[in-house]
Structure 1
């Protein structure tokens, strides 16, 4: 099949779209930059004293120090003015919670080298700590600051944990204040382990597993949490909605993101629809007020080459406009024969203070992932006589002409305003366009006649076809959050609404049986991927589908006592696609958090589950929506000045109308028939610790156990491990040269299996329990330059990543990078 000229035309069309998107983004950036008032100096006339005992609730994100001090002054009523030059290039951590004015400003000024002085008129200003106070001023008593306070932003902290996360409730709470299991993969952890792809992050994150049945990016590599497939993805808290093929969101490069927040369990409050598995929220890097630049080159096994550039700076003298540009390219072969990948990523973000309390942000992102020699599955696991086949790990099931192309581009903008009454409102508008084009050609065994003859290698066919689509999503996300008073105490409230519309233009092609094309391979044991040639498979249909979700929600955190928090929320959702709709579906949420001490809390939470389903029963009818409830109880701790987070949880999930594939398979429209099973239960426990264990020592450890059974007590999803353990730690020795960091970790999982395998459908495919060890070392050559080496699968463990075919995990490999920072 010739595809040179069509692909060239598609590429030109794609380039025009990218160019248009970039021009739109740059125009928006220029408009925002023009609207900025240069040289803003927050001034507040008379105000509250800094030593006031009145406690205010603050919700100030990490960011430029000048902007955050202005927000502090507006929220506290303290009259503060200062020279913008003093704060130019300085940032402050996030400020979330209730503090007196002195405590609040102390946290914001932590590590800045600035202190507060009082003027003759009773207002306040700033000076450098080493400078002599102005003649008209008298220096206030020293403001006690908390050094290295962690905010939600993880870049530059060197930490394996975070100080706050909002994915679970939209409230900017610490992990200890959140009544659900939350894991955060920080920027430092990703850089230490060389986690450049979302699948890399998932493999290292507590409670998440990948059931990989084919090459990365295929639809046969779902992510699981608590026994069920993860279907909810967010970027900066805004849901990525595409029910037709949500696996496309797995193709994300981590160079763009500050951190990945993962909430395990049902997350209906923030998503409206979804399974009780998890939500993965990718949080973008933001512009910084202080100039910083990074360039990294990396080489590795199997001709792996990668380069990254990341530059951030203020764009005007006053520091009120800031920009960030990120780009990366990657080119690599694989341990699997014929597989080759190319990736290109570019992103630009500009944010501007368009007033003392208003922040505007606009940006664009472009990602492209191409793979040739791409297989949706591994080679057959059994001979025709029922014996097991032992393939080499490099053996490929892909035809040489099979490929997968994915492209994602988005333009986004937001406005955020802080009011003087401590309330904040934010609106985000985003437009995302994805494109996928996959020509399928892979050798797999699904029927008795397709298992290879032991002597001749015959009887194996290629599964061929093509699918392509171009989903476009437009999303609007609005919310307001702030404190309110009730019965003499302060509480927190979030009010929000979201709307998303996805339109997918799909081109239809024949699948699996294509005209008179002969799919037989010949001898699978000496197959080179070139025969048979690609079939002639022209497009035979154009299908346009759409999906719309609108919802409104509220979350309130009541503080009846200093130790007790009661979090109540509800979301009402309307969902519709071209053939079905669900109206006014209410998802309630409730959580209690009780502080046992200054460092420890216990919690309990509850939420409902609702998800429309596209699977069909034996009569070819859509099954009813998935319904259920999720319960969780746990304990959490913040240790070592809140730089180490500890959590343990037990949970129970009840579900009705769970889709279970009928065995033997019964083909229906869009796949195989399922049975809607009610009365299924899932129980499990989780433990996680992450952060600073001691000075220069970062670590993360987790254990997760999950058991899912149907109403008759039969185990479900046995091809997903019930138990996982994940450990990784690093220790930095600053006294060795410019600084030496060594690290290592292990990933262990229990056995998994699938029944009804083999030519007669009477065998069990089992992958026993196994562990994989990873090692790393980094040497700081000088202040700007460092070298890092990562050794993956150090003991070269052989293992299958799934069941049913022979798709192996990656053998031992090495990557080495040079990192230059300014």
Structure 2
């Protein structure tokens, strides 16, 4: 594959060099009336699909142009569109500059008062590295922006936002502790600002939405982001940064189950010249549950400082602190041998007074961006993350045939340390009639996760079992646990340790006036991983990526993609051979379209992901031997449809559907616990979501609006063991939400009612070792009321 890539690239470069001097380009700068550069201005050539976006210095460049006359159009939210005519000469750079009639101060007012509510995004953040409009990227990428988060009253990463992405579902979860999202048949990777922040299956801590700007979902392997990881995809949480505008927002939320929340967002300048900027987000909440004795109190502070060293260089320092005080993290589940949903929706095993879980989560980030020119940009960033958890997890030691049980509590102290660094370069140049977009960079990471589950306490005794049908939630007969944390966790806990370095190179070649785009890329990764005291497993691998995207019209593109991923794993093979990493490849076809001046967008994709070498317990060895065999092969395939945006004036819409089929397609000889054709657990075969928000556009009732949402999940698979009763399956999940809102000027009030039909909703599985079903219920009908004011 590397030889083919090199040969094709050399051939193209040689051919294009012959035509290099026959093309010209247009470059220039956009400034305000008082001489300050303006970023994110759209600069297009009228009547074509070619264009650019101004960088932080206000500069832009459009290359690969045939000689002739062009009309250059500059547009910016809240401003009149400006046009200028220019003549391009072969081998020359034509210069055209724009000056916005508003001063910097006027522009701030335009940005504040002109804030739109539109769910559609046409580009991803710079932390995703892809410097192309979404419609041109040969992959299904969905962006959830702040407008959508506010309208749906999403307050944390685990708070129902997956409804906005086709096929995304939450896997087995611990309330609002971890997010754990599944798509395309497997758990996808969690990232923040371009860093992979996964250190174990149980992390990271759910982000509070107070400091989140947007969330970007990338389906399938993504070599331009991931050095290693599951081939099903990733989500990238993008945090809020200073905008250079003096503005702010304060919001208050109250809701069912004693939810009380306040958030403040301040954005402005620390120097009159605008070189030193700040952003400060602070939030605090108290929240209980529909189950007795549960609580989840969160406090967040996220200060950000940006300093423009010179017009082309920006340095940003960011710190995020999240504090969580939660009830025991195992309390969300209930257990019964009688089948799913056989206990009341509010059923719990959590006794009053049980010691809770305390979490401190620190994140440090420094980011440097330097524009060498309008078309060449260097980004370097480093992050250090420190997570500490001290608590417990309640789980049954046994469940009797009559439903009574012995409740037990194990310690769950955890420590995570991650130090990560990246440097990458985005560039653009032309050779003849071919435009090249270059992405190259280096990723490095050192991660360690310690967890102590070894301390144990029985709450109940034989003869004094807990009875879920007649629950007593007072002090347990054996009292409460009192675990010893005096010894540092690094000295007594099992460890997951991972180190890697990775290099990536991508060239997107565009032909025929950028109408056809060929992506050739590859990533080389060297990684070492050790788990639970075992010897480290090392792996080095080259992963190619080939993509093709073609613009059928200026607003419609079709694409094809082949991409690979791999994920190291730890274990001991019964054969004594070295453990191979999980390898996977993705083949994807799709079509994207922007509708009505990019007000809304649709994406249709079909895919097939194949994964090999995943470990499973060796069936020919004792259960406690710790020996494994490589399973064989899993295949996930499916269909996805996403619609997002403003389809009519005042009507914002999210609509998506996904069909997913994930099965074992090859089984290693000797493995009998899994058969060829078995379904992979932890996903739903059919997922349908929609969210509609309509606001009256004029008249006496202008600003009044209504919202409605629907989620349906069918063909859901349990997470662990198959049920011994074929009639006991997870039923179709149907959830209806509705709301009303009113906005006037900078003031907005929003009321949403969730689970409007008061359905009994849950997810769960069967545990063979307990001979019992377990499930976690969603809240019954509940409501949230938010009041916000922008200033």
- Which residue number corresponds to residue 237 of structure 1? 194
- Which residue number corresponds to residue 746 of structure 1? 710
Deviation readout 1:735-781 (Å, 9 max, x if unpaired)? 244511211110001032449969x956663112131011121112x
Q: Contact 1:160/1:189 (CA < 8 Å) preserved in 2? A: yes
- Which residue number corresponds to residue 639 of structure 2? 685
1:453 paired residue among 379, 397, 402:
402
Matched ranges for 1:499-578 at <5 A? 499-504=444-449, 506=450, 508-511=452-455, 521-524=465-468, 525-528=470-473, 530-531=475-476, 532-539=478-485, 541-543=491-493, 546-562=497-513, 563-578=515-530
Q: Contact 2:24/2:63 (CA < 8 Å) preserved in 1? A: no
Question: Residues 339, 166 of structure 1: CA spacing in aligned structure 2 closer, same or farther, 3 A cutoff?
Answer: same
Q: Contact 2:548/2:560 (CA < 8 Å) preserved in 1? A: yes
- In the alignment, structure 1 residue 435 sits paired with structure 2 residue 400: no
- Which residue number corresponds to residue 336 of structure 1? 291
TM-score (norm 2): 0.81
- In the alignment, structure 1 residue 477 sits paired with structure 2 residue 430: no
Q: Contact 1:629/1:655 (CA < 8 Å) preserved in 2? A: yes
Q: Contact 1:187/1:258 (CA < 8 Å) preserved in 2? A: yes
Question: Residues 522, 819 of structure 1: CA spacing in aligned structure 2 closer, same or farther, 3 A cutoff?
Answer: closer
How far apart are 1:353 and its partner, in Å?
2.0
- Which residue number corresponds to residue 32 of structure 1? none
Question: Which stretch shows the higher mean deviation, 747-756 or 403-412?
Answer: 747-756
- Which residue number corresponds to residue 14 of structure 2? none
Deviation readout 1:96-155 (Å, 9 max, x if unpaired)? 97698999974355534696999xxx996736379xxxxxxxxxxxxxxxxx99xxx9x9
- In the alignment, structure 1 residue 604 sits paired with structure 2 residue 560: yes
Q: Secondary structure at the match of 2:584?
A: strand
Count of residue pairs brought into register by the alignment:
709
Q: Contact 2:496/2:529 (CA < 8 Å) preserved in 1? A: yes
- Which residue number corresponds to residue 493 of structure 1? 438
Instruction: Give structure 2 stretches of 5+ with no counterpart.
Output: 1-22, 44-53, 86-94, 104-109, 667-674, 767-773
- In the alignment, structure 1 residue 806 sits paired with structure 2 residue 775: yes
Question: Which stretch shows the higher mean deviation, 361-370 or 395-404?
Answer: 395-404
- Which residue number corresponds to residue 216 of structure 2? 261
How far apart are 1:527 and its partner, in Å?
2.5
1:216 paired residue among 176, 179, 183:
176
- Which residue number corresponds to residue 111 of structure 1? 78
Question: Residues 674, 250 of structure 1: CA spacing in aligned structure 2 closer, same or farther, 3 A cutoff?
Answer: farther
Separation in structure 1 between the aligned mates of residue 289 and residue 501 of structure 2, nearest angstrom: 42
How far apart are 1:57 and its partner, in Å?
8.4
Q: Contact 1:225/1:277 (CA < 8 Å) preserved in 2? A: yes
- Which residue number corresponds to residue 128 of structure 1? 101
Deviation readout 1:414-435 (Å, 9 max, x if unpaired)? 1111123621111111111111
Question: Which stretch shows the higher mean deviation, 466-475 or 276-285?
Answer: 466-475
Deviation readout 1:675-717 (Å, 9 max, x if unpaired)? 5222322111101111110222111111111111212642322
1:177 paired residue among 136, 141, 144:
136
Which structure features the higher share of strand residues?
Answer: 2
Instruction: Give structure 1 stretches of 5+ with no counterpart.
Output: 1-52, 74-86, 131-147
- Which residue number corresponds to residue 8 of structure 1? none
Q: Aligned Cα RMSD in Å?
A: 3.9
How far apart are 1:602 and its partner, in Å?
0.7
2:337 paired residue among 382, 389, 394:
382
2:686 paired residue among 688, 713, 723:
723
Q: Contact 2:166/2:656 (CA < 8 Å) preserved in 1? A: yes
Q: Contact 1:374/1:399 (CA < 8 Å) preserved in 2? A: no
Q: Secondary structure at the match of 1:271?
A: coil
- Which residue number corresponds to residue 796 of structure 1? 758
Separation in structure 1 between the aligned mates of residue 621 and residue 724 of structure 2, nearest angstrom: 11
- In the alignment, structure 1 residue 67 sits paired with structure 2 residue 18: no
Question: Residues 251, 553 of structure 1: CA spacing in aligned structure 2 closer, same or farther, 3 A cutoff?
Answer: same
- Which residue number corresponds to residue 50 of structure 1? none
Separation in structure 2 between the aligned mates of residue 94 and residue 698 of structure 1, nearest angstrom: 33
Question: Residues 522, 777 of structure 1: CA spacing in aligned structure 2 closer, same or farther, 3 A cutoff?
Answer: closer
- Which residue number corresponds to residue 118 of structure 2? 159
Question: Residues 794, 124 of structure 1: CA spacing in aligned structure 2 closer, same or farther, 3 A cutoff?
Answer: closer
Q: Contact 2:600/2:647 (CA < 8 Å) preserved in 1? A: yes
Deviation readout 1:571-593 (Å, 9 max, x if unpaired)? 11111134224343111111000
TM-score (norm 1): 0.78
Question: Residues 72, 728 of structure 1: CA spacing in aligned structure 2 closer, same or farther, 3 A cutoff?
Answer: closer
Separation in structure 2 between the aligned mates of residue 807 and residue 94 of structure 1, nearest angstrom: 53
Separation in structure 1 between the aligned mates of residue 96 and residue 557 of structure 2, nearest angstrom: 39
Separation in structure 1 between the aligned mates of residue 162 and residue 572 of structure 2, nearest angstrom: 30
How far apart are 1:320 and its partner, in Å?
2.4
Separation in structure 2 between the aligned mates of residue 519 and residue 552 of structure 1, nearest angstrom: 61
- Which residue number corresponds to residue 76 of structure 1? none
